[in-house]
């Protein structure tokens, strides 16, 4: 299959409406979309990215009012989060409306919904005139793509269309919050910080990721975010004789004698998050044997960043 590259959101939306797979930019990472109500098209998402069928997809909407097309009802905590964070990098898990095909939600009776904070994505989604099911636009288990070039690396020839734009502003995926019962819980740390969520919903449970997370969010146990190169989380950059084969990303600058082949020194945790997945891919392309990633405080975006670093380190150990 030939993948059409375009800057035109209306051309991309026409393709999606006719049952095709369309990759599109968002503020978190690029997504791989299909009409959420078209079972065949959604099935092809799983094939294109070689994703296990037990990992549910996030449904993207162009307007908060569209949430009711995919959710049976909207519990109070979800209403608060939607009002405060849509559009934005937050996915809320809600009771699923009957009309949503079960392939979208991997058989769960819940559905994750998000409205991206990205002008081109919103123009595209609005023109689609249907909710769009979309996982990150990478091959399953690979780092999420934060540029259209990274989407091409993984999916060129496997999808019908790629709506091109610049780099994703956040660089890490959305925060996922389960709002299906009386005590909402965090399922995936992400670009909306836990501190912000707790301001909005003080009763939010942070622990379910470890306890019920696997049951509520089957995707969490799949290997994730991993480059083809070994990742090690380090306290600080350090010099060893073999660093010529290594890459380093972090906040502290290595001394010139540390001798890393490739380095990226970030000014802030936000910049670290913005660059991480892109750096993984650059390090792969440079042929390094190992990537040292500096540990950060689990605060603000640091929590999501540490989650991705630890998953990458354990998937490549």
| Residues in touch with Mg ion (CB under 5 A) | 136
The region, left, alpha or beta by phi > 0 then psi within -120 to 50, assigned to residue 236 is: beta
When asked if residue 117 is in the footprint of ligand TXA (CB under 6 A), the reply is no
Residue with tokens 């959101």: 9
Q: Least Å distance between CB 56 and ligand TXA?
A: 3
When asked if residue 29 is in the footprint of ligand TXA (CB under 6 A), the reply is yes
Q: Least Å distance between CB 219 and Mg ion?
A: 8
When asked if residue 55 is in the footprint of ligand TXA (CB under 6 A), the reply is yes
Among 187, 204, 229, 293, binds ligand TXA (CB under 6 A): 187
Q: Which residue's CB is nearer to Mg ion, number 143 or number 254? A: 143
Phi, psi of 201 (to 5 degrees): -130, 85
Among 23, 58, 179, 247, binds ligand TXA (CB under 6 A): 58
Q: Which residue's CB is nearer to ligand TXA, number 90 or number 288? A: 90
Q: Which residue's CB is nearer to Mg ion, number 105 or number 136? A: 136
Q: Least Å distance between CB 136 and ligand TXA?
A: 4
Of the candidates 295, 309, 278, the one whose C-alpha atom is nearest the C-alpha of residue 151 is: 278
Which residue has its beta carbon closest to ligand TXA?
219
* Residue 225 structure tokens: 């975010």
Selected range binding ligand TXA among 37-45, 73-81, 172-180, 241-249, rule: CB under 6 A:
172-180
DSSP 3-state of 221: helix
When asked if residue 28 is in the footprint of ligand TXA (CB under 6 A), the reply is yes
69: Cβ contacts below 8 Å, ≥ 6 apart: 61, 97, 99, 131
Query: What number of CA atoms fall less than 13 Å from residue 114's CA on the CB side?
Result: 30
Quick count: other Cβ atoms within 10 Å of Cβ 11? Answer: 15
Pairs from 41-47 (Cβ < 8 Å, separation ≥ 24): 42/101, 42/103, 42/104, 42/133, 43/103, 45/21, 45/133, 45/134, 45/135, 46/103
Instruction: Catalog residues that contact ligand TXA under the rule CB under 6 A.
Output: 26, 28-29, 31, 55-58, 89, 91, 93, 105, 108, 110-112, 114, 134-136, 173-174, 176, 187-188, 216-220
């Amino acid at each position: 299959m030939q993948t059409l590259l375009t800057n035109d959101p209306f051309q991309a939306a026409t393709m999606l409406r006719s049952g095709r797979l369309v990759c599109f930019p968002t503020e978190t990472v690029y997504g791989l979309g299909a009409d959420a109500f078209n079972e065949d098209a959604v099935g092809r998402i799983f094939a294109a990215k070689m994703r296990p069928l037990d990992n549910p997809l996030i449904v993207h909407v162009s307007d908060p009012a569209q949430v009711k097309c995919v959710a049976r009802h909207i519990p109070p905590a979800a209403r608060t989060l939607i009002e405060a964070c849509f559009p934005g990098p937050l996915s809320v898990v809600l009771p699923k409306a009957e009309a949503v095909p079960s392939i979208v939600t991997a058989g769960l009776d819940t559905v994750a919904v998000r409205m991206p904070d990205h002008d081109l994505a919103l123009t595209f989604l609005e023109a689609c005139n249907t909710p769009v099911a979309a996982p990150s636009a990478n091959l399953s288990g690979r780092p999420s793509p934060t540029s259209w070039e990274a989407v091409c690396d993984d999916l060129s020839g496997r999808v019908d269309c790629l709506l091109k734009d610049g780099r994703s502003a956040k660089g890490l995926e959305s925060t996922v919050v389960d709002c299906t019962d009386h005590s909402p819980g965090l399922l995936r740390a992400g670009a909306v910080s836990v501190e912000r969520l707790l301001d909005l919903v003080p009763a939010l449970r942070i622990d379910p990721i470890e306890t019920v997370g696997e049951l509520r969010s089957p995707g969490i146990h799949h290997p994730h975010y991993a480059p083809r190169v070994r990742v090690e989380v380090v306290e600080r950059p350090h010099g060893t004789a073999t660093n010529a084969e290594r890459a380093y990303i972090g906040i502290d600058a290595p001394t010139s004698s540390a001798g890393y082949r490739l380095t990226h020194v970030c000014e802030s945790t936000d910049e670290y998050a913005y660059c991480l997945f892109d750096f993984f891919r650059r390090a792969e392309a440079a042929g390094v044997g190992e990537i040292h990633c500096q540990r950060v405080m689990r605060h603000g975006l640091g929590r999501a960043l540490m989650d991705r670093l630890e998953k990458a380190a354990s998937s490549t150990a």
